[in-house]
Amino acid sequence: MSKAEPLYRLQLIDTEIDKIVKRVREIDAAMRNNPAVNHAKQEHEALQKVHQRAVSDHKMLDLDARSLDEKIKGEEERLYSGKIKQTKELLDVQHELESLKRRRASLDETLLAAMMTVDESRAAEQKCATALRHALKNWEEDNVVMRQEDADLRKRYAALVEQRKSLAGAIPAPDLNAYVAIRNKKPLAVAAIRNGACGACGVEQSSQMMQQARSGSAIVLCPLCGRILYGA
């Protein structure tokens, strides 16, 4: 057995551990934050504000209409009370009443448009609320699956850590230190020779280098990338 073989097996374990750690972090982020839900929430909040503004505008217009109705009622009472004796004053009241009624008629059109805006904004807000509920439901369903995946990954991680301890304990300290030093710079510290070349950088190796990597008593490094070479 070459000196690189146990390091290669250690590299396989470390590579799988790295993948598990990365995936667990992805799952954690996905379970805490969901882009689809965030987007649906933002849309819903925006449409809620639009609807609230439409309702507020309609209420203000309705108050204006009530105020005009009171004024019209007051002017009509004055006009038909018989208390006005002067012709000019009577004409002034008639003109004011006509003006108020024209304003009231125009306001009716504005109120109708405002009511339509309220209905449309309510429908849009309710549609968005439904989309948000669906997004939240899908997220929760995804979380159930991800929680199971997370549990399986953590179990696998624990098993790999134990395997790594056992394997690393049997590797000579100088070899292990060399592996760790390279891996601190490059995630892949041990590269298998494939078709006569380094499996990491692709540089071709001499027959002597390949022979040493397969059965030599010393660690062989790729002259280009500096990784430990392993020849199966």
The DSSP-derived string for 127-172 is HHHHHHHHHHHHHHHHHHHHHHHHHHHHHHHHHHHHHHHHHHHTS-
In a domain, 38, yes or no: yes
Q: What is the pLDDT of residue 86?
A: 81
Tens-place pLDDT, residues 39-49? 999 999 999 99
> What is the predicted pLDDT for the residue at 69?
94
| CB distance 91 to 79 below 8 Å | no
Residue 143 banded pLDDT, cuts 50, 70, 90: very high
Digit-coded pLDDT (tens) for 65-117: 999 999 999 988 888 887 877 888 888 888 999 999 999 999 999 999 999 99
**Residue 87 belongs to some domain of the structure:** yes
Here the CATH number for the domain that contains residue 111 is: 1.10.287.1700
Looking at 12-21, 32-41, 209-218, which range is the least confident one? 209-218
Rounded CA-CA distance 137/206 in Å is 59
Could you tell me if 20 and 156 are in contact, meaning their C-beta atoms sit under 8 angstroms apart? yes
Least reliable range by pLDDT among 28-42, 76-90, 129-143, 216-230? 76-90
**Predicted pLDDT at 81:** 85
pLDDT in tens, 206-225: 888 888 888 877 899 999 99
| The model's pTM | 0.68
Q: Is 187 domain-assigned?
A: yes
Q: What is the pLDDT of residue 207?
A: 87
Q: Kindly state whether residues 123 and 198 are assigned to the same domain.
A: no
In a domain, 17, yes or no: no
Domain co-membership, 45 together with 140: yes
Rg (CA), the chain: 40
**Across 170-198, average pLDDT:** 94
Cα-to-chain-centroid distance, residue 104:
50
Instruction: Answer yes or no: do 179 and 105 share one domain.
Output: no
**Least confident range of 79-88, 121-130, 188-197:** 79-88
Question: What confidence score (pLDDT) does residue 210 get?
Answer: 87
- Domain final residue, candidates 147, 163, 188: 147
Does residue 123 fall inside a structural domain? yes
**129 and 51 in a common domain:** yes
Residues 58 and 139 in one domain: yes
18 located within any domain: no
The mean-pLDDT minimum among 22-31, 85-94, 131-140 falls in 85-94
Q: How far is CA 169 from CA 79, 162, 229, in A?
A: 108, 11, 21
The reply to whether 176 and 220 lie within a common domain is: yes
Distance, CA of 122 to CA of 99 (rounded, Å): 34
User: Can you give the pLDDT at residue 18?
Assistant: 97
- In this predicted structure, the answer to whether residue 14 has a pLDDT above a threshold of 90 is yes
Number of domains in the chain: 2
pLDDT of res. 214: 85
**Nearest C-alpha neighbor of 193 from the set 180, 207, 179, 183:** 207
Same domain? 141 vs 188: no
Q: What one-character DSSP code corresponds to residue 192?
A: E
In a domain, 40, yes or no: yes
Q: Of the candidates 147, 182, 211, which is a domain's last residue?
A: 147
End-to-end CA distance of the chain: 9
Q: Which domain holds residue 76?
A: 34-147
Instruction: Let me know whether 140 and 182 are in one domain.
Output: no
48 and 132, same domain (yes or no): yes
